Amino acid sequence: MFLWFHKLGSPPHFYRIAGKWIPWLSWIFLMLLLAGLYGGLIEAPPDYQQGESYRIIFVHVPAAWMSLFIYVVMAFCGAVIIVWRMKLAEVVLISSAPIGASFTFLALVTGSLWGKPMWGTYWVWDARLTSELILLFLYLGIIGLHNAIEDKRVASRAVAILALVGVVNIPIIHYSVEWWHSLHQGATVTKFDKPSIHWSMLIPLLLMALAFQVYYVLALFQKCRVELLQRERNSKWVEEL
């Protein structure tokens, strides 16, 4: 097990494995996405209060979950970079950032479009909305910092520290709706209680969440391969390709 992990950490090995997985992941993602969209947009019944407009949750909620999840992955990579100086963790961290930023942006935009008819406003400076916006700035800050430093190994260490510092925002985003009075509603699924959503809506929601998760791995593998080739362009294994 440890040996397998160790081997995966070596750039040429990872490059090969990721390349093999990409077509499979693409198919799995496509199936999950189609099943989730069909379930969410066609099969699922309308909501008793919001009617059809609630269907935006099938994109909004998984996107918001991914925005948090990807950040946690990046912070974990940050710790690995600082402690073990692992090259692959550097690549995973920086390749994750644009994907995470896109999911955060998607969550903010879909939420805002839903907010206008339901709440009566596109945007309020509510604790949940503000902390999610800070998350977007953290992602953008990480991308910017990485681009600003020429030496990519030095850049990775700087970015690792930024990612680790920003991780305090993650519990704040999640608990913001409990700690403070906010306009955003409380958690529906991610709580210890029974989810307060009917199963006919929950199943497509989870399918979409899974689809987004697979999409993240897929996009990550593709970005990592490109980043690895760029970083290791002078090494022997790249020349042999």
Does residue 164 touch other proteins according to CB under 8 A? yes
Environment class of 149 (CB within 10 Å of its CB; exposed 0-12, middle 13-18, buried 19+)? middle
User: Distances from the Cα of 162 to the Cαs of 78, 93, 117, 151, 159, in angstroms?
Assistant: 8, 11, 37, 17, 5
Count of alpha carbons within 13 Å of 49, Cβ hemisphere only?
4
Strand partners, 51: 47
Does residue 120 touch other proteins according to CB under 8 A? yes
| Residue 26 or 50 with smaller CB distance to other proteins | 50
Which of positions 47-106 make contact with other proteins (CB under 8 A)?
A: 47-50, 53-54, 57, 78-79, 82-84
Query: What single letter denotes the amino acid at residue 46?
Result: P
- Is residue 68 within 8 A of residue 87, CB to CB? The reply is no
Closest approach, Cβ 123 to other proteins, in A, equals 11
Does residue 127 touch other proteins according to CB under 8 A? yes
| Residue 181 or 233 with smaller CB distance to other proteins | 181
Of positions 124, 133, 149, 158, contacts other proteins by CB under 8 A: 124
Q: DSSP code of 126?
A: -
| Residue ranges binding other proteins (CB under 8 A) | 45-50, 53-54, 57, 78-79, 82-84, 117-121, 124-127, 161, 164-165, 167-168, 172, 180-183, 185-188, 196-198, 200-201
